[in-house]
Structure 1
Amino acid sequence: MKTVPTLYEWAGGREAFERLTELFYGKVLQDELLEPVFRHMNPEHSKHVAHFIAEVFGGPKTYTEDDNGSHAGMVRHHLGKMLTEAQRRRWMALLLDSADEIGLASDPEFRSALVGYLEWGSRLAIMNSSTADNPISEGEPMPKWGWGETGGPYQP
């Protein structure tokens, strides 16, 4: 039986996620549809998002322990933003383009898991952006994402 790495390990670890979000948020700030949403983001925002995704994908608890973040805190950032489907689609496209540009793992199994998570999270962000009430309570665990139906990366 072969060992199944976490999505975090397969992607290339912390450095890969930090490169991804740094490139991505640079694109966001140049995009007429998304720039207004992110105009006043904290300079550390891209690293916090990288650490969040990394933790969700099975990496170390950098987001919750070092960045003092939480799932409820991440959701709180979206409350009242009134995000649109057009913004969500652009966000997805720019993030996936950035993944290609940095050479993030491109095998179908990994990309299926990545796109599944991004679709799930971005659709929740839209839902949460139309309310002022956080549906996630402090102390609720971080989401955990895995390989899904593929069961792991293709390993001949």
Structure 2
Amino acid sequence: MPENSIPTLYEWAGGMPAFEELTNVFYDKVLKDELLEPVFKQMSGEHRLHVAHFIAEVFGGPELYSTEEGSHFKMIQKHLFKHLTEQHRKRWVTLLLQTADEINLPDDPEFRSAFVAYIEWGTRIAVLNSNTDQLLMNPTEPMPKWGWGVPGGPFPG
């Protein structure tokens, strides 16, 4: 990375190993959680890796998810008819943020602001899509791209 360039959220977090660790530790918690376990108990063995690749790509990492594992549209489709509630969403967010702390994802306010903003946005959309029977979305809609947002990058101090 050239000097003075702002790293992507993906780079700042530690690259793919950080996202794979995040989803592995997180889904271990999910499968022990009385509220979330029934929703996720049938997930495929690849689910954790797919979620890691999806989040990593959204945060500026390699396009593994969209080129090899699906598309934004296909990911949205996976939530249809799941009937997720606000209680599910809040528990999912809580466990993910606990996991981020446990695995030592960066905790600077700039990174965490962007990370939490995406998680909040994405989980709210998942709840909406899980409670509809018709997906009004263009199947070719690109993957979301998430950056530093208003802060403009990590604080250099």
Aligned pairs for 1:128-147 within 5 A: 128-147=129-148
- Residue number in structure 2 paired with 1:103: 104
The CA deviation at 1:133 is 1.5
Taking the TM superposition and a 5 Å limit, the aligned residue runs for 1:18-29 are: 18-29=20-31
If the length of structure 2 is used for normalisation, what is the TM-score?
0.96
Give every structure 1 segment of 4 or more consecutive aligned residues whose post-TM-superposition deviation is greater than 4 Å.
none
Answering whether residue 101 of structure 2 is matched by residue 83 of structure 1, we say: no
**Alignment pair present for 1:17 and 2:9:** no
Q: Give the counterpart letter for 2:55 in structure 1.
A: I
Contact 1:128/1:134 (CA < 8 Å) preserved in 2?
yes
State the identity as a percent.
61
Name 1:54's counterpart in structure 2.
56
8 A contact 1:75–1:136 mirrored in 2:
no
| 1:152 aligned partner | 153
Residue of structure 1 in register with 2:47 after alignment: 45
Count matched residues. Answer: 155
Provide the C-alpha distance between the structure 2 equivalents of 1:135 and 1:119, rounded to a whole number of angstroms. Answer: 21
Q: CA–CA distance in 1 between the matches of 2:4 and 2:75?
A: 35
CA distance in 2, matches of 1:23, 1:137: 33
Q: Which amino acid aligns with 2:81?
A: G
Q: Distance in 2 between matches of 1:40 and 1:56?
A: 25
Structure 1 portions without partners, runs of 5+:
none
1-side partners of 2:77 and 2:151: how far apart? 32
AA matched with 1:59: G
How many Å separate the matches in 2 of 1:46 and 1:135? Answer: 27
Is the Cα contact below 8 Å between 1:72 and 1:136 reproduced in 2? yes
Alignment match, 1:36: 38
CA–CA separation in structure 2 for the residues paired with 1:44 and 1:112: 28
In the TM superposition, residue 66 of structure 1 has moved relative to its aligned partner by: 2.4
How far is 1:137 from its partner?
A: 2.3
Stretch of structure 1 that moved more, 78-87 or 131-140: 131-140
RMSD: 1.0
TM-score, scaled to structure 1: 0.96
Deviation at 1:40, TM superposition (A): 0.3
Q: What runs of 5+ residues in structure 2 fail to find an aligned partner?
A: none
Aligned-partner SS, 1:86:
helix
Query: How many angstroms does 1:95 deviate by?
Result: 0.2
The CA deviation string for residues 17-62 of structure 1, in whole angstroms up to 9 with x for no partner, is 0000000001000000000110100011010000000000000101
